[in-house]
Amino acid sequence: MEIQHYFEEIIVDVDQLDYLLMHNNHDVRLLEEGGLKMENHCHAFSVLVSACENVPELHAKLCRVYTLIWTLLQIVENKLEGCGLPDWPSFQLSLLPTQSVGRPSYDIQYDQVAFLRNLGMSWSGISKALKISRRTLYRKKAEWSFENIEANISNEDLAVLIQEILTQTPNAGEVYVLGSLRARKVSVARWRVREQLHALDHLGRALRRRTTIQRRIYQVKGANYLWHIDSNHKLISYRLVYHGCIDGYSRLLIYLRCLTNNKAASVLELFKHGTNLFGIPSRVRGDRGVENIHVAQFMLNERGIDRGSFIVGRSVHNQRIERLWAEVNRIVTRHFKDLFLFMSYNDYLDEHSDIDLFCLHYVFLPRIEKCLEEFVNQWNHHSLSSARAKSPFQLWSLAHLEGQHYENIVGMEDDAYFENPNLYGLDEMGPPPEIETSNSVVVPEFELHLSDQQMHRINVSIPDVMSDDGQCGISHYLKIREILLEH
**Residue-range domain boundaries for the chain:** 3-82, 155-208, 220-427, 452-485
User: Residue 231 pairs with which residues in a beta bridge?
Assistant: 243
Residue 343 has pLDDT above 80, yes or no: yes
User: Quick one: CA dihedral 84, 86, 87, 91, positive or negative?
Assistant: positive
Half-sphere exposure of 205 (CA within 13 A, CB side): 19
Could you read off the pLDDT of 350-395 as tens digits, one per residue?
Answer: 999 999 999 999 999 999 999 999 999 999 988 887 777 788 888 8
Residue range 476-486: mean pLDDT, rounded: 91
Could you read off the pLDDT of 151-190 as tens digits, one per residue?
Answer: 567 777 887 888 778 777 777 777 778 777 877 777 777 7
Rg (Cα) of the chain, in Å, rounded?
25
Could you read off the pLDDT of 462-474 as tens digits, one per residue?
Answer: 989 999 888 889 9
Residue range 333-338: mean pLDDT, rounded: 92
Q: How far is Cα 421 from Cα 432, in angstroms, rounded to an integer?
A: 20
Superfamily of domain 220-427: Ribonuclease H-like superfamily/Ribonuclease H (3.30.420.10)
Residue 47 has pLDDT above 50, yes or no: yes
Residue 130 has pLDDT above 60, yes or no: yes
- The percentage of residues in the chain with a pLDDT greater than 90, rounded to a whole number, is 24
Decide if 430 contacts 323 (C-beta within 8 A).
Answer: yes
The strands making up 241-247's β-sheet, listed across from edge to edge, are: 253-259, 241-247, 226-232, 283-286, 310-312
What DSSP letter does each residue of 335-366 carry, written as one string? HHHHHHHHHHHTTS--TT-HHHHHHHHHHHHH
Could you read off the pLDDT of 197-248 as tens digits, one per residue?
Answer: 777 655 555 555 555 544 444 567 788 889 999 999 999 999 999 999 999 8
Decide if 285 contacts 228 (C-beta within 8 A).
Answer: yes
182 exposure class (CB count in 10 Å sphere: 0-12, 13-18, 19+)? buried
User: Quick one: CA dihedral 158, 160, 166, 168, positive or negative?
Assistant: negative
Mean pLDDT check: name the lowest of 95-99, 127-131, 446-450: 95-99
pLDDT of the residue at 208? 54
pTM for the predicted model, two decimal places: 0.67
The 3-class SS string of 41-105 reads HHHHHHHHHHHCCCCHHHHHHHHHHHHHHHHHHHHHHHHHHCCCCCCCCCCCCCECCCCCCCCCC
Residue 310: other Cβ atoms inside 10 A:
20
What is the average pLDDT score of the chain? 78
Could you read off the pLDDT of 406-431 as tens digits, one per residue?
Answer: 665 545 676 666 666 666 656 554 55
pLDDT of the residue at 258? 95
pLDDT of the residue at 399? 82
More confident position, 388 or 25: 388
pLDDT of the residue at 427? 57
pLDDT of the residue at 151? 57
Q: Which of 447, 453, 479, 450 has the alpha carbon at shortest distance from 464? A: 479
